[in-house]
Structure 1
């Protein structure tokens, strides 16, 4: 059976800011395939947004753990102080692995936010950011 792709999305106030689909069996690839399972994965993440808001009120931690489970997939979430959501759809990765991935990506996000050429809450188009996130995904989620 083929590995289920992992989907990582950064969601701002009104829209997704960054998206990466990660195929854990072959490495990293673009999310432009447009097949049915990819669309379903985006729907699962979108439907979990309300649960993220609900979970945010139950803890002081930035790492909200698993907020939703659909079929054999889980939605883990990390919430920044500016209410930017890091959401990861995966098939049961270990909690410590996911937390470490989120912490590393958060460090990259903070560095990006400090860049004077990046306007807060706008789509992230930095190639360097994309490369670093995909390297972190390869290191932690494969």
Structure 2
């Protein structure tokens, strides 16, 4: 089964700092826009969860079709999404 992952680091002010796609799936034309749309939609969930839990890894916070959003939150609240 071929899989792909999109790794994005987002600053405290919701500005993407770093973005990388890793995987062996043939890339679709709209894949970059789709990943950004999904991650920005999930940021509202992350902002609520980051203040209600002490966990730094928030697994499977959002889903879109076969894509799953998992998030690591640093102590400075910089988000590492995949």
Q: TM-score, normalised by structure 1?
A: 0.51
Identify the residue that residue 129 of structure 1 maps to in structure 2.
Answer: none
Moved over 6 A (4+): none
Which of the pair is proportionally richer in strand?
2
Secondary structure of 1:81's counterpart equals: coil
Q: 1:62: which partner in 2?
A: 56
Q: 1:9 and 2:8 equivalent?
A: yes
Larger radius of gyration: 1
Q: Which residue of 2 aligns with 1:83?
A: 77
1:34 is displaced (CA, Å) by 8.1
What do you get for the CA RMSD once the two structures are aligned? Answer: 2.0
Paired positions, count: 80
Superposition deviation, residue 4 in structure 1: 3.9
Whole-Å separation in 1 of the counterparts to 2:18 and 2:32? 15
Q: Give the deviation of 1:13 after TM superposition.
A: 2.1
Instruction: For CA contacts below 8 A with separation 6 or more, give which structure has more relative contact order.
Output: 2
1:8-59 CA-to-partner distances (Å, cap 9, x unmatched) read 0000023111111011x37xxxxxx782122111110111110101111331
- Note the residue ranges of structure 1 that are not aligned, 5 or more in a row: 27-32, 89-142
Report which of the two has the higher share of helix: 1
